[in-house]
Structure 1
Amino acid sequence: MVDKADKAAKLNAESLADLLKTMQVLRDPLKGCAWDKQQTFVSIVPHTIEEAYEVADAIVSGDMAAIKDELGDLLFQVVFYAQLAKEQNEFDFAGICEQLNSKLIRRHPHVFAQSTQLTTTELNQQWEHIKAQERAGKQQDTDASILANIPKGMAPLQRAQKIQKKCSAIGFDWSTLPPVVDKIHEEIQEVLDEVNAPQPNQQAIEEEIGDLLFAVVNLARHAKVDAETALIKANQKFEKRFRAVETILKQQGQGIEAATLEEMEAAWQTVKKQ
Protein backbone atom coordinates (compact mmCIF):
# COMPACT_ATOMS: atom_id res chain seq x y z
CA MET A 1 0.00 0.00 0.00
CA VAL A 2 1.41 3.37 -1.05
CA ASP A 3 1.42 5.88 1.80
CA LYS A 4 0.58 9.57 1.42
CA ALA A 5 4.22 10.66 1.48
CA ASP A 6 5.17 8.32 -1.38
CA LYS A 7 2.13 9.40 -3.37
CA ALA A 8 2.95 13.08 -2.87
CA ALA A 9 6.57 12.49 -3.87
CA LYS A 10 5.43 10.75 -7.05
CA LEU A 11 3.06 13.58 -7.94
CA ASN A 12 5.80 16.16 -7.30
CA ALA A 13 8.22 14.27 -9.54
CA GLU A 14 5.63 13.96 -12.32
CA SER A 15 4.68 17.65 -12.08
CA LEU A 16 8.33 18.71 -12.21
CA ALA A 17 9.02 16.43 -15.16
CA ASP A 18 6.07 17.95 -17.03
CA LEU A 19 7.31 21.48 -16.28
CA LEU A 20 10.85 20.74 -17.47
CA LYS A 21 9.44 19.18 -20.65
CA THR A 22 7.29 22.28 -21.28
CA MET A 23 10.35 24.50 -20.87
CA GLN A 24 12.29 22.34 -23.31
CA VAL A 25 9.51 22.65 -25.90
CA LEU A 26 9.39 26.43 -25.46
CA ARG A 27 13.09 26.57 -26.34
CA ASP A 28 12.83 24.06 -29.21
CA PRO A 29 14.62 25.55 -32.28
CA LEU A 30 11.80 24.51 -34.63
CA LYS A 31 8.50 24.58 -32.76
CA GLY A 32 9.41 26.68 -29.73
CA CYS A 33 8.17 30.16 -28.80
CA ALA A 34 9.91 32.97 -30.70
CA TRP A 35 10.33 35.07 -27.53
CA ASP A 36 11.60 32.23 -25.34
CA LYS A 37 14.10 31.14 -28.00
CA GLN A 38 15.65 34.62 -28.05
CA GLN A 39 16.33 34.82 -24.31
CA THR A 40 19.70 34.53 -22.60
CA PHE A 41 20.89 34.44 -18.98
CA VAL A 42 21.33 38.21 -19.07
CA SER A 43 18.06 39.08 -20.80
CA ILE A 44 15.80 37.35 -18.27
CA VAL A 45 17.44 38.79 -15.15
CA PRO A 46 15.03 41.78 -15.02
CA HIS A 47 12.10 39.34 -15.24
CA THR A 48 13.53 37.27 -12.38
CA ILE A 49 13.81 40.34 -10.16
CA GLU A 50 10.30 41.46 -11.10
CA GLU A 51 8.85 38.03 -10.33
CA ALA A 52 10.55 37.99 -6.92
CA TYR A 53 8.91 41.32 -6.08
CA GLU A 54 5.54 40.04 -7.28
CA VAL A 55 5.89 37.09 -4.91
CA ALA A 56 6.59 39.51 -2.06
CA ASP A 57 3.61 41.64 -3.08
CA ALA A 58 1.32 38.61 -3.13
CA ILE A 59 2.52 37.51 0.32
CA VAL A 60 1.86 40.98 1.73
CA SER A 61 -1.66 40.88 0.25
CA GLY A 62 -2.35 37.58 1.99
CA ASP A 63 -4.02 36.18 -1.15
CA MET A 64 -3.00 32.51 -1.18
CA ALA A 65 -4.19 32.00 -4.77
CA ALA A 66 -1.99 34.91 -5.88
CA ILE A 67 0.96 33.56 -3.84
CA LYS A 68 0.62 30.18 -5.54
CA ASP A 69 0.48 31.82 -8.97
CA GLU A 70 3.45 34.13 -8.37
CA LEU A 71 5.58 31.33 -6.88
CA GLY A 72 4.93 29.42 -10.10
CA ASP A 73 6.18 32.39 -12.12
CA LEU A 74 9.30 32.59 -9.95
CA LEU A 75 9.92 28.85 -10.29
CA PHE A 76 9.65 29.28 -14.06
CA GLN A 77 12.64 31.62 -13.90
CA VAL A 78 14.77 28.90 -12.26
CA VAL A 79 13.57 26.34 -14.80
CA PHE A 80 14.41 28.77 -17.60
CA TYR A 81 17.98 29.26 -16.35
CA ALA A 82 18.36 25.49 -15.97
CA GLN A 83 17.27 24.93 -19.57
CA LEU A 84 19.69 27.57 -20.85
CA ALA A 85 22.55 25.96 -18.92
CA LYS A 86 21.57 22.49 -20.14
CA GLU A 87 21.72 23.69 -23.75
CA GLN A 88 25.24 24.99 -23.05
CA ASN A 89 26.25 21.67 -21.43
CA GLU A 90 26.96 23.45 -18.13
CA PHE A 91 24.39 22.02 -15.70
CA ASP A 92 20.71 21.12 -15.50
CA PHE A 93 17.80 21.38 -13.05
CA ALA A 94 18.79 18.16 -11.29
CA GLY A 95 22.27 19.58 -10.75
CA ILE A 96 20.79 22.72 -9.19
CA CYS A 97 18.68 20.61 -6.81
CA GLU A 98 21.57 18.33 -5.87
CA GLN A 99 23.90 21.24 -5.14
CA LEU A 100 21.23 23.05 -3.12
CA ASN A 101 20.42 19.94 -1.11
CA SER A 102 24.09 19.34 -0.30
CA LYS A 103 24.51 22.99 0.70
CA LEU A 104 21.48 22.92 3.02
CA ILE A 105 22.73 19.79 4.77
CA ARG A 106 26.26 21.16 5.03
CA ARG A 107 25.05 24.48 6.47
CA HIS A 108 22.80 22.82 9.05
CA PRO A 109 25.11 20.44 10.95
CA HIS A 110 23.05 21.06 14.10
CA VAL A 111 20.17 19.30 12.32
CA PHE A 112 21.77 16.67 10.08
CA ALA A 113 24.99 15.88 11.96
CA GLN A 114 24.98 16.20 15.73
CA SER A 115 21.34 17.29 16.20
CA THR A 116 22.16 20.11 18.63
CA GLN A 117 19.93 22.94 19.78
CA LEU A 118 21.60 26.30 19.17
CA THR A 119 20.59 29.86 20.00
CA THR A 120 19.82 32.33 17.22
CA THR A 121 23.18 34.02 17.78
CA GLU A 122 25.02 30.69 17.64
CA LEU A 123 23.14 29.73 14.47
CA ASN A 124 24.14 32.98 12.76
CA GLN A 125 27.78 32.54 13.80
CA GLN A 126 27.80 28.93 12.58
CA TRP A 127 26.18 29.97 9.27
CA GLU A 128 28.77 32.68 8.60
CA HIS A 129 31.63 30.37 9.61
CA ILE A 130 30.47 27.64 7.22
CA LYS A 131 30.02 30.15 4.37
CA ALA A 132 33.55 31.45 4.99
CA GLN A 133 34.89 27.89 4.81
CA GLU A 134 33.03 27.36 1.53
CA ARG A 135 34.53 30.50 0.01
CA ALA A 136 38.00 29.48 1.15
CA GLY A 137 37.49 26.03 -0.39
CA LYS A 138 36.67 27.60 -3.73
CA GLN A 139 39.87 29.68 -3.47
CA GLN A 140 37.90 32.64 -4.79
CA ASP A 141 37.77 34.73 -1.64
CA THR A 142 40.38 37.31 -2.62
CA ASP A 143 38.35 40.00 -0.82
CA ALA A 144 39.01 39.51 2.90
CA SER A 145 36.44 42.09 4.03
CA ILE A 146 33.45 40.90 6.06
CA LEU A 147 31.40 42.80 3.47
CA ALA A 148 32.64 40.56 0.66
CA ASN A 149 30.10 38.65 -1.38
CA ILE A 150 27.17 40.97 -0.69
CA PRO A 151 25.58 41.16 -4.16
CA LYS A 152 26.01 44.54 -5.83
CA GLY A 153 22.71 44.07 -7.62
CA MET A 154 20.70 43.50 -4.45
CA ALA A 155 17.83 45.94 -3.84
CA PRO A 156 19.32 49.01 -2.05
CA LEU A 157 17.24 48.69 1.12
CA GLN A 158 18.05 44.99 1.40
CA ARG A 159 21.74 45.61 0.72
CA ALA A 160 21.90 48.35 3.37
CA GLN A 161 20.34 45.99 5.90
CA LYS A 162 22.73 43.19 4.88
CA ILE A 163 25.77 45.47 5.25
CA GLN A 164 24.62 46.60 8.70
CA LYS A 165 23.93 43.02 9.78
CA LYS A 166 27.42 41.93 8.74
CA CYS A 167 29.00 44.79 10.69
CA SER A 168 26.82 44.10 13.71
CA ALA A 169 27.98 40.48 13.75
CA ILE A 170 31.53 41.60 14.63
CA GLY A 171 30.41 44.21 17.17
CA PHE A 172 30.33 47.37 15.03
CA ASP A 173 26.84 48.40 16.14
CA TRP A 174 24.92 50.26 18.83
CA SER A 175 23.54 48.02 21.54
CA THR A 176 20.55 50.25 22.37
CA LEU A 177 17.94 52.15 20.35
CA PRO A 178 18.47 55.80 21.49
CA PRO A 179 21.74 56.41 19.59
CA VAL A 180 20.17 54.87 16.49
CA VAL A 181 17.32 57.38 16.69
CA ASP A 182 19.75 60.22 17.50
CA LYS A 183 21.64 59.38 14.31
CA ILE A 184 18.44 59.82 12.28
CA HIS A 185 17.85 63.27 13.81
CA GLU A 186 21.47 64.15 13.04
CA GLU A 187 21.10 63.05 9.40
CA ILE A 188 17.82 64.99 9.03
CA GLN A 189 19.56 68.14 10.22
CA GLU A 190 22.42 67.58 7.78
CA VAL A 191 19.91 67.24 4.94
CA LEU A 192 18.23 70.49 5.98
CA ASP A 193 21.59 72.24 6.24
CA GLU A 194 22.39 71.32 2.64
CA VAL A 195 18.91 72.12 1.31
CA ASN A 196 18.88 75.54 3.03
CA ALA A 197 22.46 76.44 2.11
CA PRO A 198 22.91 79.82 0.32
CA GLN A 199 24.00 77.87 -2.76
CA PRO A 200 22.55 74.32 -2.46
CA ASN A 201 24.75 71.60 -3.87
CA GLN A 202 22.55 68.90 -5.41
CA GLN A 203 25.22 66.23 -5.10
CA ALA A 204 25.67 67.01 -1.40
CA ILE A 205 21.91 66.93 -0.87
CA GLU A 206 21.72 63.52 -2.54
CA GLU A 207 24.56 62.24 -0.36
CA GLU A 208 22.93 63.44 2.86
CA ILE A 209 19.55 61.97 1.91
CA GLY A 210 21.35 58.69 1.20
CA ASP A 211 22.87 58.82 4.70
CA LEU A 212 19.40 59.48 6.14
CA LEU A 213 17.90 56.50 4.33
CA PHE A 214 20.77 54.30 5.54
CA ALA A 215 20.11 55.48 9.12
CA VAL A 216 16.40 54.69 8.80
CA VAL A 217 17.24 51.18 7.56
CA ASN A 218 19.40 50.82 10.67
CA LEU A 219 16.41 51.77 12.84
CA ALA A 220 14.29 49.17 11.05
CA ARG A 221 16.94 46.50 11.68
CA HIS A 222 17.20 47.36 15.36
CA ALA A 223 13.41 47.23 15.61
CA LYS A 224 13.52 43.78 13.95
CA VAL A 225 11.66 45.06 10.90
CA ASP A 226 12.62 44.24 7.33
CA ALA A 227 13.01 47.64 5.66
CA GLU A 228 12.04 46.36 2.22
CA THR A 229 8.82 44.74 3.49
CA ALA A 230 7.95 47.83 5.53
CA LEU A 231 8.31 50.07 2.47
CA ILE A 232 6.26 47.69 0.33
CA LYS A 233 3.44 47.91 2.87
CA ALA A 234 3.78 51.69 3.12
CA ASN A 235 3.51 51.96 -0.67
CA GLN A 236 0.40 49.80 -0.65
CA LYS A 237 -1.18 51.80 2.15
CA PHE A 238 -0.50 55.11 0.42
CA GLU A 239 -1.85 53.83 -2.89
CA LYS A 240 -5.01 52.53 -1.23
CA ARG A 241 -5.61 55.86 0.52
CA PHE A 242 -4.84 57.95 -2.57
CA ARG A 243 -7.25 55.90 -4.68
CA ALA A 244 -9.89 56.52 -1.99
CA VAL A 245 -9.15 60.27 -2.19
CA GLU A 246 -9.74 60.11 -5.95
CA THR A 247 -13.06 58.36 -5.33
CA ILE A 248 -14.19 60.95 -2.77
CA LEU A 249 -13.35 63.87 -5.07
CA LYS A 250 -15.09 62.15 -7.97
CA GLN A 251 -18.21 61.74 -5.84
CA GLN A 252 -18.01 65.46 -5.13
CA GLY A 253 -18.16 66.13 -8.85
CA GLN A 254 -14.53 66.93 -9.61
CA GLY A 255 -11.45 65.13 -10.77
CA ILE A 256 -8.22 64.92 -8.79
CA GLU A 257 -6.47 67.20 -11.31
CA ALA A 258 -8.91 70.05 -10.68
CA ALA A 259 -8.89 69.81 -6.89
CA THR A 260 -6.92 72.22 -4.73
CA LEU A 261 -4.34 71.01 -2.22
CA GLU A 262 -6.76 71.92 0.61
CA GLU A 263 -9.53 69.82 -0.97
CA MET A 264 -7.18 66.87 -1.47
CA GLU A 265 -5.94 67.17 2.13
CA ALA A 266 -9.53 67.24 3.44
CA ALA A 267 -10.34 64.08 1.48
CA TRP A 268 -7.11 62.47 2.73
CA GLN A 269 -8.04 63.13 6.35
CA THR A 270 -11.49 61.66 5.71
CA VAL A 271 -9.92 58.49 4.33
CA LYS A 272 -7.54 58.21 7.31
CA LYS A 273 -10.48 58.47 9.75
CA GLN A 274 -12.25 55.72 7.88
Structure 2
Amino acid sequence: MESRPYTIDTLIEIMARLRDPNSGCPWDLKQSWQSIIPHTLEEAYEVADAIHQAVDSQDFSEVKLELGDLLFQVIFYSQFAKEQGDFEFADVVDGVCEKLIRRHPHVFADIDFADEAAIKANWEAEKSKERAIKLQANSVLDDVPKALPALSRAQKLQKRCANVGFDWGDAWGPYHKVKEEWAEVGQAMHQQDGEEIAEEIGDLLFAVVNLARHQGLDAEDLLHQANRKFETRFRAVEQLAKADGKRLQDMSLEAMDALWEKVKQRLKT
Protein backbone atom coordinates (compact mmCIF):
# COMPACT_ATOMS: atom_id res chain seq x y z
CA MET A 1 0.00 0.00 0.00
CA GLU A 2 1.45 3.38 -1.01
CA SER A 3 2.22 6.01 1.61
CA ARG A 4 0.32 9.27 1.98
CA PRO A 5 -0.77 11.39 0.27
CA TYR A 6 -3.07 8.70 -1.05
CA THR A 7 -4.59 8.81 -4.53
CA ILE A 8 -7.74 7.55 -6.20
CA ASP A 9 -5.75 4.45 -7.20
CA THR A 10 -5.12 3.78 -3.49
CA LEU A 11 -8.85 3.95 -2.81
CA ILE A 12 -9.57 1.52 -5.66
CA GLU A 13 -6.93 -0.85 -4.29
CA ILE A 14 -8.40 -0.62 -0.76
CA MET A 15 -11.83 -1.52 -2.15
CA ALA A 16 -10.40 -4.51 -4.01
CA ARG A 17 -8.69 -5.71 -0.82
CA LEU A 18 -11.89 -5.33 1.18
CA ARG A 19 -13.70 -7.51 -1.38
CA ASP A 20 -10.94 -10.11 -1.68
CA PRO A 21 -12.66 -13.51 -1.19
CA ASN A 22 -9.68 -14.89 0.75
CA SER A 23 -8.57 -12.00 2.96
CA GLY A 24 -11.23 -9.32 2.68
CA CYS A 25 -13.63 -7.84 5.22
CA PRO A 26 -16.61 -10.13 6.00
CA TRP A 27 -19.04 -7.17 6.00
CA ASP A 28 -17.86 -5.82 2.65
CA LEU A 29 -17.93 -9.29 1.12
CA LYS A 30 -21.60 -9.70 2.10
CA GLN A 31 -22.69 -6.52 0.34
CA SER A 32 -24.49 -6.32 -3.00
CA TRP A 33 -25.75 -3.65 -5.38
CA GLN A 34 -29.02 -3.43 -3.47
CA SER A 35 -27.69 -3.67 0.08
CA ILE A 36 -25.57 -0.52 -0.03
CA ILE A 37 -28.22 1.72 -1.64
CA PRO A 38 -29.42 2.92 1.82
CA HIS A 39 -25.82 3.74 2.73
CA THR A 40 -25.38 5.71 -0.49
CA LEU A 41 -28.51 7.76 0.18
CA GLU A 42 -27.43 8.35 3.77
CA GLU A 43 -23.98 9.52 2.66
CA ALA A 44 -25.50 11.92 0.12
CA TYR A 45 -27.69 13.46 2.81
CA GLU A 46 -24.70 13.71 5.15
CA VAL A 47 -22.80 15.63 2.45
CA ALA A 48 -25.72 18.03 2.10
CA ASP A 49 -25.98 18.48 5.87
CA ALA A 50 -22.23 19.08 6.19
CA ILE A 51 -22.37 21.73 3.45
CA HIS A 52 -25.25 23.56 5.13
CA GLN A 53 -23.35 23.58 8.42
CA ALA A 54 -20.12 24.63 6.74
CA VAL A 55 -21.75 27.60 5.04
CA ASP A 56 -22.80 28.85 8.48
CA SER A 57 -19.50 28.11 10.25
CA GLN A 58 -17.10 28.60 7.30
CA ASP A 59 -15.39 25.37 8.38
CA PHE A 60 -15.42 22.93 5.47
CA SER A 61 -13.30 20.19 7.06
CA GLU A 62 -16.36 17.98 7.66
CA VAL A 63 -17.44 18.43 4.03
CA LYS A 64 -14.11 16.96 2.92
CA LEU A 65 -14.69 13.84 5.04
CA GLU A 66 -18.30 13.39 3.92
CA LEU A 67 -17.36 13.78 0.25
CA GLY A 68 -14.81 11.02 0.77
CA ASP A 69 -17.50 8.75 2.17
CA LEU A 70 -19.72 9.49 -0.83
CA LEU A 71 -16.87 8.86 -3.27
CA PHE A 72 -16.29 5.50 -1.60
CA GLN A 73 -19.86 4.53 -2.50
CA VAL A 74 -19.03 5.10 -6.19
CA ILE A 75 -15.89 2.99 -5.80
CA PHE A 76 -17.98 0.27 -4.11
CA TYR A 77 -20.44 0.05 -7.01
CA SER A 78 -17.58 0.11 -9.52
CA GLN A 79 -15.99 -2.85 -7.72
CA PHE A 80 -19.23 -4.85 -8.05
CA ALA A 81 -19.26 -4.08 -11.78
CA LYS A 82 -15.60 -5.04 -12.17
CA GLU A 83 -16.21 -8.38 -10.46
CA GLN A 84 -19.07 -9.02 -12.88
CA GLY A 85 -16.97 -7.96 -15.88
CA ASP A 86 -19.30 -5.06 -16.75
CA PHE A 87 -17.13 -1.96 -16.23
CA GLU A 88 -14.53 -0.38 -13.94
CA PHE A 89 -14.13 2.94 -12.16
CA ALA A 90 -12.07 4.28 -15.08
CA ASP A 91 -15.08 3.68 -17.33
CA VAL A 92 -17.26 5.70 -14.96
CA VAL A 93 -14.79 8.60 -15.17
CA ASP A 94 -14.58 8.27 -18.96
CA GLY A 95 -18.36 8.33 -19.29
CA VAL A 96 -18.93 11.43 -17.17
CA CYS A 97 -16.05 13.32 -18.87
CA GLU A 98 -17.45 12.55 -22.33
CA LYS A 99 -20.93 13.65 -21.27
CA LEU A 100 -19.75 16.92 -19.72
CA ILE A 101 -17.63 17.84 -22.72
CA ARG A 102 -20.48 17.07 -25.11
CA ARG A 103 -23.03 19.02 -23.04
CA HIS A 104 -20.78 22.11 -22.91
CA PRO A 105 -19.95 22.88 -26.56
CA HIS A 106 -19.75 26.58 -25.65
CA VAL A 107 -16.75 25.73 -23.46
CA PHE A 108 -15.03 22.86 -25.27
CA ALA A 109 -16.06 23.26 -28.93
CA ASP A 110 -16.02 27.04 -29.44
CA ILE A 111 -19.76 27.13 -30.18
CA ASP A 112 -21.41 30.43 -29.29
CA PHE A 113 -24.88 30.67 -27.75
CA ALA A 114 -26.85 33.90 -27.58
CA ASP A 115 -27.42 33.82 -23.83
CA GLU A 116 -27.74 31.60 -20.76
CA ALA A 117 -31.23 30.50 -21.82
CA ALA A 118 -29.81 29.14 -25.10
CA ILE A 119 -27.09 27.30 -23.19
CA LYS A 120 -29.72 25.74 -20.92
CA ALA A 121 -31.87 24.78 -23.92
CA ASN A 122 -28.90 23.01 -25.51
CA TRP A 123 -28.20 21.19 -22.23
CA GLU A 124 -31.78 19.94 -22.04
CA ALA A 125 -31.72 18.93 -25.71
CA GLU A 126 -28.61 16.84 -25.13
CA LYS A 127 -30.19 15.19 -22.10
CA SER A 128 -33.31 14.42 -24.15
CA LYS A 129 -31.18 12.75 -26.84
CA GLU A 130 -29.45 10.66 -24.20
CA ARG A 131 -32.77 9.54 -22.72
CA ALA A 132 -34.12 8.63 -26.15
CA ILE A 133 -31.05 6.54 -26.94
CA LYS A 134 -30.89 4.93 -23.51
CA LEU A 135 -34.53 4.09 -22.97
CA GLN A 136 -36.35 4.57 -26.25
CA ALA A 137 -38.81 6.06 -23.78
CA ASN A 138 -42.57 6.13 -24.25
CA SER A 139 -42.79 9.16 -21.94
CA VAL A 140 -40.55 12.07 -21.02
CA LEU A 141 -41.19 11.02 -17.42
CA ASP A 142 -40.00 7.42 -17.76
CA ASP A 143 -36.57 7.78 -16.13
CA VAL A 144 -37.32 10.29 -13.37
CA PRO A 145 -35.89 8.39 -10.36
CA LYS A 146 -38.61 7.13 -8.02
CA ALA A 147 -36.20 7.16 -5.06
CA LEU A 148 -35.83 10.94 -5.13
CA PRO A 149 -37.23 12.90 -2.18
CA ALA A 150 -40.84 13.76 -3.01
CA LEU A 151 -40.29 17.52 -3.37
CA SER A 152 -37.30 17.02 -5.66
CA ARG A 153 -39.14 14.44 -7.76
CA ALA A 154 -42.17 16.73 -8.10
CA GLN A 155 -39.92 19.53 -9.35
CA LYS A 156 -38.16 17.23 -11.81
CA LEU A 157 -41.49 15.92 -13.14
CA GLN A 158 -42.69 19.48 -13.66
CA LYS A 159 -39.44 20.44 -15.38
CA ARG A 160 -39.68 17.49 -17.77
CA CYS A 161 -43.21 18.52 -18.74
CA ALA A 162 -42.09 22.13 -19.16
CA ASN A 163 -39.42 20.99 -21.63
CA VAL A 164 -42.17 19.85 -24.03
CA GLY A 165 -44.26 22.99 -23.50
CA PHE A 166 -46.69 21.74 -20.84
CA ASP A 167 -46.23 24.59 -18.41
CA TRP A 168 -47.56 27.92 -17.19
CA GLY A 169 -46.40 30.99 -19.10
CA ASP A 170 -45.20 32.73 -15.94
CA ALA A 171 -45.15 32.40 -12.15
CA TRP A 172 -48.66 33.82 -11.75
CA GLY A 173 -50.12 30.62 -13.20
CA PRO A 174 -48.84 28.38 -10.38
CA TYR A 175 -49.54 31.17 -7.88
CA HIS A 176 -53.24 31.12 -8.72
CA LYS A 177 -53.13 27.31 -8.78
CA VAL A 178 -51.83 27.36 -5.20
CA LYS A 179 -54.80 29.56 -4.19
CA GLU A 180 -57.18 27.18 -5.97
CA GLU A 181 -55.72 24.12 -4.25
CA TRP A 182 -55.77 25.93 -0.88
CA ALA A 183 -59.50 26.54 -1.28
CA GLU A 184 -60.08 22.89 -2.19
CA VAL A 185 -58.27 21.79 0.98
CA GLY A 186 -60.69 23.97 2.95
CA GLN A 187 -63.69 22.47 1.16
CA ALA A 188 -62.48 18.93 1.93
CA MET A 189 -61.99 19.85 5.59
CA HIS A 190 -65.54 21.23 5.82
CA GLN A 191 -66.80 17.95 4.35
CA GLN A 192 -64.64 16.03 6.85
CA ASP A 193 -63.57 13.63 4.11
CA GLY A 194 -60.24 12.16 5.23
CA GLU A 195 -59.20 10.73 1.86
CA GLU A 196 -60.16 13.92 0.04
CA ILE A 197 -58.26 16.04 2.57
CA ALA A 198 -55.11 13.97 2.03
CA GLU A 199 -55.42 14.17 -1.76
CA GLU A 200 -56.02 17.93 -1.76
CA ILE A 201 -53.09 18.60 0.58
CA GLY A 202 -50.91 16.57 -1.81
CA ASP A 203 -52.16 18.68 -4.73
CA LEU A 204 -51.42 21.82 -2.74
CA LEU A 205 -47.85 20.69 -2.06
CA PHE A 206 -47.35 19.88 -5.75
CA ALA A 207 -48.64 23.34 -6.72
CA VAL A 208 -46.31 25.04 -4.22
CA VAL A 209 -43.35 23.15 -5.71
CA ASN A 210 -44.41 24.41 -9.14
CA LEU A 211 -44.49 27.98 -7.85
CA ALA A 212 -40.99 27.58 -6.41
CA ARG A 213 -39.74 26.20 -9.74
CA HIS A 214 -41.16 29.16 -11.63
CA GLN A 215 -39.29 31.47 -9.27
CA GLY A 216 -36.04 29.64 -10.05
CA LEU A 217 -35.93 28.12 -6.57
CA ASP A 218 -35.40 24.56 -5.38
CA ALA A 219 -38.35 23.37 -3.28
CA GLU A 220 -36.30 20.81 -1.35
CA ASP A 221 -33.78 23.47 -0.37
CA LEU A 222 -36.53 25.94 0.57
CA LEU A 223 -38.11 23.43 2.95
CA HIS A 224 -34.69 22.63 4.37
CA GLN A 225 -34.16 26.33 5.10
CA ALA A 226 -37.63 26.60 6.64
CA ASN A 227 -36.86 23.59 8.85
CA ARG A 228 -33.62 25.22 10.01
CA LYS A 229 -35.39 28.50 10.77
CA PHE A 230 -38.10 26.72 12.77
CA GLU A 231 -35.52 24.66 14.67
CA THR A 232 -33.47 27.76 15.52
CA ARG A 233 -36.54 29.60 16.79
CA PHE A 234 -37.91 26.66 18.77
CA ARG A 235 -34.55 25.99 20.46
CA ALA A 236 -34.46 29.68 21.43
CA VAL A 237 -37.97 29.36 22.90
CA GLU A 238 -36.78 26.38 24.94
CA GLN A 239 -33.83 28.40 26.22
CA LEU A 240 -36.02 31.36 27.21
CA ALA A 241 -38.37 29.06 29.11
CA LYS A 242 -35.45 27.33 30.81
CA ALA A 243 -33.94 30.69 31.81
CA ASP A 244 -37.30 31.46 33.47
CA GLY A 245 -37.22 28.15 35.31
CA LYS A 246 -40.12 26.75 33.28
CA ARG A 247 -40.75 23.69 31.12
CA LEU A 248 -42.62 24.04 27.85
CA GLN A 249 -44.89 21.10 28.68
CA ASP A 250 -46.07 23.00 31.77
CA MET A 251 -46.82 26.23 29.88
CA SER A 252 -49.98 27.28 28.07
CA LEU A 253 -50.01 27.64 24.31
CA GLU A 254 -50.50 31.38 24.75
CA ALA A 255 -47.39 31.65 26.93
CA MET A 256 -45.31 29.63 24.47
CA ASP A 257 -46.59 31.75 21.59
CA ALA A 258 -45.51 34.90 23.46
CA LEU A 259 -41.98 33.46 23.73
CA TRP A 260 -42.10 32.56 20.04
CA GLU A 261 -42.93 36.16 19.09
CA LYS A 262 -40.14 37.43 21.35
CA VAL A 263 -37.65 35.10 19.62
CA LYS A 264 -38.82 36.21 16.19
CA GLN A 265 -38.21 39.85 17.08
CA ARG A 266 -34.79 39.08 18.55
CA LEU A 267 -33.68 37.16 15.48
CA LYS A 268 -34.90 39.93 13.17
CA THR A 269 -32.73 42.47 14.96
Specify the TM-score bucket, using the shorter chain as the normaliser: 0.7 to 0.9
Contact conserved, 1:187 with 1:208, CA < 8 A, in 2? yes
Aligned equivalents of 2:213 and 2:34: distance in 1? 32
CA offset at residue 118 of structure 1?
4.4
Aligned residue type for 2:239: T
CA 1:114–1:148: 2 relative to 1, 3 Å: farther
Q: With the length of structure 2 as denominator, give the TM-score of the two structures.
A: 0.88
User: Is residue 124 of structure 2 the alignment partner of residue 128 of structure 1?
Assistant: yes
Contact conserved, 1:174 with 1:180, CA < 8 A, in 2? yes
- The CA deviation string for residues 101-125 of structure 1, in whole angstroms up to 9 with x for no partner, is 1121222223222432442322232
Contact conserved, 1:110 with 1:118, CA < 8 A, in 2? no
Find the counterpart in structure 1 of residue 216 from structure 2. Answer: 224
Aligned equivalents of 2:250 and 2:22: distance in 1? 55
CA 1:151–1:241: 2 relative to 1, 3 Å: same
Find the counterpart in structure 1 of residue 102 from structure 2. Answer: 106
CA 1:118–1:17: 2 relative to 1, 3 Å: farther
Find the counterpart in structure 1 of residue 153 from structure 2. Answer: 159
CA offset at residue 213 of structure 1?
0.4
User: Is residue 250 of structure 2 the alignment partner of residue 258 of structure 1?
Assistant: yes
User: Is residue 154 of structure 2 the alignment partner of residue 176 of structure 1?
Assistant: no
Contact conserved, 1:110 with 1:116, CA < 8 A, in 2? yes
Find the counterpart in structure 1 of residue 24 from structure 2. Answer: 32
User: Is residue 207 of structure 2 the alignment partner of residue 211 of structure 1?
Assistant: no
Find the counterpart in structure 1 of residue 136 from structure 2. Answer: 141
CA offset at residue 159 of structure 1?
1.2
The share of aligned pairs that are identical, in percent, is 49
- The CA deviation string for residues 185-226 of structure 1, in whole angstroms up to 9 with x for no partner, is 1111101111111xx222211110111001111111111111
Find the counterpart in structure 2 of residue 70 from structure 1. Answer: 66
CA offset at residue 91 of structure 1?
1.4
Find the counterpart in structure 2 of residue 4 from structure 1. Answer: none
Find the counterpart in structure 1 of residue 187 from structure 2. Answer: 193
Q: CA RMSD in A?
A: 2.1
Aligned equivalents of 1:69 and 1:84: distance in 2? 23
Aligned residue type for 2:176: D
Indicate the SS of the match to 2:35: coil
**1:8-47 aligned within 5 A:** 14-47=6-39
Q: How many residues align?
A: 259
Aligned residue type for 1:175: G
- The CA deviation string for residues 12-57 of structure 1, in whole angstroms up to 9 with x for no partner, is 9x51111112222222334433322222111111121122122222
Contact conserved, 1:51 with 1:73, CA < 8 A, in 2? yes
Find the counterpart in structure 2 of residue 267 from structure 1. Answer: 259
Stretches of structure 2 lacking an aligned partner (at least 5 in a row) = none
User: Is residue 75 of structure 2 the alignment partner of residue 79 of structure 1?
Assistant: yes
- The CA deviation string for residues 108-149 of structure 1, in whole angstroms up to 9 with x for no partner, is 2232224324423222322232233334444x3141x23232
Aligned equivalents of 2:44 and 2:141: distance in 1? 24
CA offset at residue 269 of structure 1?
1.6
Contact conserved, 1:150 with 1:159, CA < 8 A, in 2? yes
Aligned equivalents of 1:186 and 1:243: distance in 2? 35
Contact conserved, 2:131 with 2:137, CA < 8 A, in 1? no
Contact conserved, 1:60 with 1:233, CA < 8 A, in 2? no
Aligned equivalents of 1:34 and 1:260: distance in 2? 55
Query: Which is further off, 262-271 or 224-233?
Result: 262-271
Contact conserved, 2:174 with 2:211, CA < 8 A, in 1? yes
Contact conserved, 2:144 with 2:153, CA < 8 A, in 1? yes
CA offset at residue 81 of structure 1?
0.9
Indicate the SS of the match to 1:196: helix
Aligned equivalents of 1:245 and 1:263: distance in 2? 10
